[in-house]
């Protein structure tokens, strides 16, 4: 390692005094002007990680659904998964190191993680459409270059596209070609094959309105449109030509505010969906004839996909184990429907995509979605091999056809990470094949009314949870109080958990009516305020 070059370049990307950041589920995220040194140093870290695992590593410059002024960065591991937890610690150390300690910390990471300095390093870089992203990705390149790493800059891509490229590269092309064309071709081919099988295929035009959050999704969908079958007509809104990224639009806005985005004109019963800023989340929605807004969130997406896959698995007659993975935020009605009506096992894990992904890997077919619309389906190696073999060799016509549909599903789903483009095509294919309208999908079950609140506290660490964040262990007396409050309402539950990023405690409550869900959430927020060191005035109903 050339310590003079490191010193020289590091001085060009100085760390603001007194700034400390934490690498979380979403990597680093903050105001764009505070990130230059972090980008340079994540370039360094990606080279070390690449040498440690002798594979290509990805770096994505994005702050997803955050406001346009923010930015962020996350690293992608060899199979397109999120950075290994032990390296999140190294990322935090490196980002917060003082200038003069950089060399020492790099050396320590190399020792702890057994990094072979003589190995080659290779890094793939992608970025979103924020005004700050291009300059910040240049800082990443500086970091990679100082440590002698090779890089390929994909420029503007969705986050899931970068995850996909990294996986393709490290599987020597078994997962696909590590190019945008490769991505478009693989997905559109599988989608076209599926749509062919649908009743009335060819003559029925399928319209879908898409709110692209004024982000990268619009650019990539425009590039992909020529690959789509003729009967699929997508209409893009909030395409980034006029308004600000994520401003009053996008999946996060629609989910949180339970209303349509600005800039999308909805007619009754039209199918609409929203991507988030970096296109790794999707939610659907529509207005009924009375003008009432209906949100179809990640829970209902997971349910639709589960219904479809369960039918196909039953047809191929294999004993493949399928399960759905949720977090405590999943609506109680979805859990009940999956377990009691569909008879599919449901597992609850801590909030955060990495926990869902990890759990889903335990099954032959693992479906996971967060309520916010981030999710995908994972197929085990064994399941995939079996399905592809049946699609080729099975003598029984019905079984073989079902296996072929499953095989196309495997190719259409981006198994590395939640992907709004891929998930959208999966949903559109299922609705077409089952002949379902958006309203029929919505009525599979009715969501229990719920309310999300947050309470500011002096220190979020006073709250510790267990049972996948569904029960509070500390402070003493809080869980007993919540249990007593929950008993007052029908079909109710509530839980509290500390935010991962700020000194607030998040509260979730659901009950038989909106009025009761609101009342329960408020009562729980008061209990948190009094027992967990609330700041400022007590919560008002």
Asked if 148 and 188 sit in the same domain, the reply is no
Q: Where in the sequence numbering do the catalytic residues fall?
A: 64
Asked if 13 and 144 sit in the same domain, the reply is yes
What's CA 520's distance to the chain center, in Å?
29
**Residue 72 CB-density burial (10 A; 0-12 exposed, 13-18 middle, 19+ buried):** buried
Model confidence at 135: pLDDT above 90: yes
What are 482-521's pLDDT values in tens digits? 999 999 999 999 999 998 767 899 999 999 999 999 999 9
C-alpha–C-alpha distance, residues 52 and 45, integer Å:
10
Give residue for tokens 């006029």.
242
CA-closest candidate to residue 167, choices 99, 237, 76: 76
Confirm or deny that 422 is annotated as ligand binding: no
What are 26-59's pLDDT values in tens digits? 899 999 999 999 999 999 999 999 999 999 999 9
Model confidence at 231: pLDDT above 60: yes
C-alpha–C-alpha distance, residues 283 and 522, integer Å:
27
CA-closest candidate to residue 228, choices 206, 212, 200: 206
Q: Is the Cβ–Cβ distance between 451 and 258 less than 8 Å?
A: no
Asked if 488 and 384 sit in the same domain, the reply is no
pLDDT for res 206:
86
Structural domain span for residue 376: 184-242+268-444
**Residue 332 CB-density burial (10 A; 0-12 exposed, 13-18 middle, 19+ buried):** middle
Asked if 15 and 33 sit in the same domain, the reply is yes
CA-closest candidate to residue 78, choices 150, 175, 167: 167
pLDDT for res 204:
66
Does some domain include residue 425? yes
pLDDT for res 205:
73
C-alpha–C-alpha distance, residues 43 and 144, integer Å:
5
Asked if 134 and 189 sit in the same domain, the reply is no
Last residue of a domain, one of 156, 175, 196: 156
Does some domain include residue 321? yes
pLDDT for res 297:
96
Does some domain include residue 172? no
For the chain, the residue count is 541
Tell me how crowded residue 203 is: count the other CB atoms within 10 A of its CB.
6
Last residue of a domain, one of 409, 427, 444: 444
Angle between helices 420-434 and 397-412 (to 10 degrees): 150
**Residue 510 CB-density burial (10 A; 0-12 exposed, 13-18 middle, 19+ buried):** buried
pLDDT for res 357:
95
What are 337-365's pLDDT values in tens digits? 999 999 999 999 999 888 999 999 999 99
C-alpha–C-alpha distance, residues 524 and 541, integer Å:
11
Model confidence at 201: pLDDT above 70: no
Tell me how crowded residue 82 is: count the other CB atoms within 10 A of its CB.
22
Asked if 345 and 415 sit in the same domain, the reply is yes
Asked if 319 and 407 sit in the same domain, the reply is yes
Confirm or deny that 299 is annotated as ligand binding: no
Angle between helices 102-112 and 3-12 (to 10 degrees): 120
Confirm or deny that 407 is annotated as ligand binding: no
Does some domain include residue 251? no
Mean pLDDT score across all residues of the chain: 95
pLDDT for res 214:
97
Confirm or deny that 64 is annotated as ligand binding: yes
Confirm or deny that 217 is annotated as ligand binding: no
Asked if 279 and 366 sit in the same domain, the reply is yes
What are 66-102's pLDDT values in tens digits? 999 999 999 999 999 999 999 999 999 999 999 999 9
Does some domain include residue 263? no
Last residue of a domain, one of 444, 465, 487: 444
Asked if 471 and 414 sit in the same domain, the reply is no
Using CA atoms, how far residue 285 sits from 37, 314, 340, 450, 454, in Å, is 40, 30, 25, 18, 25
Confirm or deny that 280 is annotated as ligand binding: yes
Does some domain include residue 460? yes
Asked if 329 and 389 sit in the same domain, the reply is yes
Q: Is the Cβ–Cβ distance between 25 and 75 less than 8 Å?
A: no
Confirm or deny that 18 is annotated as ligand binding: no
Using CA atoms, how far residue 181 sits from 61, 78, 224, in Å, is 21, 21, 9
Asked if 339 and 196 sit in the same domain, the reply is yes
- Per the structure, how many domains does the chain have? 3
Question: For the chain, what percent of residues have pLDDT higher than 70?
Answer: 99
Q: Is the Cβ–Cβ distance between 211 and 248 less than 8 Å?
A: no
Give the CATH number for residue 486.
3.30.310.50
Model confidence at 202: pLDDT above 80: no
Confirm or deny that 278 is annotated as ligand binding: yes
What are 415-431's pLDDT values in tens digits? 999 999 999 999 999 99
Confirm or deny that 506 is annotated as ligand binding: yes
Contacts 24+ apart (CB under 8 A), 3-7: 3/103, 5/146, 6/102, 6/103, 6/106, 6/146, 6/147, 7/103
Quick one: CA torsion of 307, 311, 317, 321, rounded to 10 degrees? Answer: 0
Q: Is the Cβ–Cβ distance between 295 and 379 less than 8 Å?
A: no
Give residue for tokens 């039918």.
311
Asked if 63 and 201 sit in the same domain, the reply is no
Using CA atoms, how far residue 368 sits from 64, 104, 301, 365, in Å, is 19, 41, 10, 10
pLDDT for res 365:
98
């Amino acid at each position: 390692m050339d310590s003079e070059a490191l010193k020289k370049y590091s001085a060009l990307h100085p760390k603001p005094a007194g700034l400390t950041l934490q690498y979380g589920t979403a990597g680093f995220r903050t105001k764009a002007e505070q990130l230059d040194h972090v980008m340079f140093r994540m370039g360094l870290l990606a080279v070390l990680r690449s040498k440690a695992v002798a594979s290509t590593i990805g770096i994505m410059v994005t702050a997803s659904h955050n406001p346009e002024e923010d930015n962020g960065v996350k690293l992608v591991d060899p199979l397109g998964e999120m950075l290994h937890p032990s390296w999140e610690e190294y990322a935090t150390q490196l980002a917060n190191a003082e200038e003069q300690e950089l060399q020492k910390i790099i050396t320590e990471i190399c020792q702890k993680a057994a990094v072979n300095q003589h190995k080659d390093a290779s890094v793939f870089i992608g970025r979103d459409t924020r005004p700050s992203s291009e300059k910040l990705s240049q800082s990443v390149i500086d970091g990679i270059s100082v440590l002698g790493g090779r890089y390929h800059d994909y420029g503007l891509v969705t986050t899931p596209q970068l995850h996909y490229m990294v996986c393709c590269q490290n599987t020597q092309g078994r997962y696909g070609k590590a190019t945008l064309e490769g991505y478009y071709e693989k997905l559109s081919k599988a989608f076209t094959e599926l749509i062919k099988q649908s009743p009335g295929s060819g003559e029925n035009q399928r319209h879908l309105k898409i709110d692209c959050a004024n982000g990268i999704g619009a650019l990539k969908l425009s590039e992909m449109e020529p690959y789509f079958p003729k009967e699929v007509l997508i209409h893009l809104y909030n395409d980034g030509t006029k308004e600000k990224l994520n401003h009053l639009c996008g999946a996060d806005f629609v989910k949180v505010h339970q209303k349509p985005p600005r800039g999308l004109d909805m007619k009754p019963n039209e199918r609409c969906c929203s991507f988030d800023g970096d296109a790794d989340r999707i939610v659907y929605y529509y207005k009924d004839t009375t003008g009432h807004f209906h949100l179809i969130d990640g829970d209902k997406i997971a349910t639709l996909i589960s219904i479809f896959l369960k039918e196909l698995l039953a047809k191929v007659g294999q004993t493949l184990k399928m399960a759905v993975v949720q977090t405590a935020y999943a609506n109680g009605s979805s859990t009940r429907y999956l377990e009691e009506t569909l008879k599919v096992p449901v597992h609850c894990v801590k909030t955060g995509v990495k926990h869902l992904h990890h759990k889903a890997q335990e099954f032959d077919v693992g479906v996971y979605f967060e309520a916010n619309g981030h999710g995908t389906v994972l197929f085990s190696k064994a399941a995939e091999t079996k399905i592809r073999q049946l699609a080729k060799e099975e003598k029984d016509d019905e079984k073989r056809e079902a296996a072929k549909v499953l095989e196309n599903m495997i190719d259409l789903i981006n198994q590395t990470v939640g992907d709004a483009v891929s998930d959208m095509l999966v949903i559109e294919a299922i609705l077409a094949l089952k002949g379902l309208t958006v309203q029929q999908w919505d009525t599979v079950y009715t969501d229990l009314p719920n309310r999300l609140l947050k309470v500011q506290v002096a220190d979020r660490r006073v709250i510790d949870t267990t049972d996948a964040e569904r029960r509070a262990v500390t402070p003493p007396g809080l869980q007993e109080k919540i249990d007593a409050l929950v008993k007052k309402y029908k079909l109710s539950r509530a839980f509290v958990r500390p935010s991962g990023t700020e000194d607030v405690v998040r509260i979730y409550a659901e009950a038989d009516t909106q009025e009761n869900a609101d009342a329960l959430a408020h009562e729980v927020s008061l209990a948190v305020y009094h027992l967990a060191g609330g700041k400022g005035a007590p919560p008002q109903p």
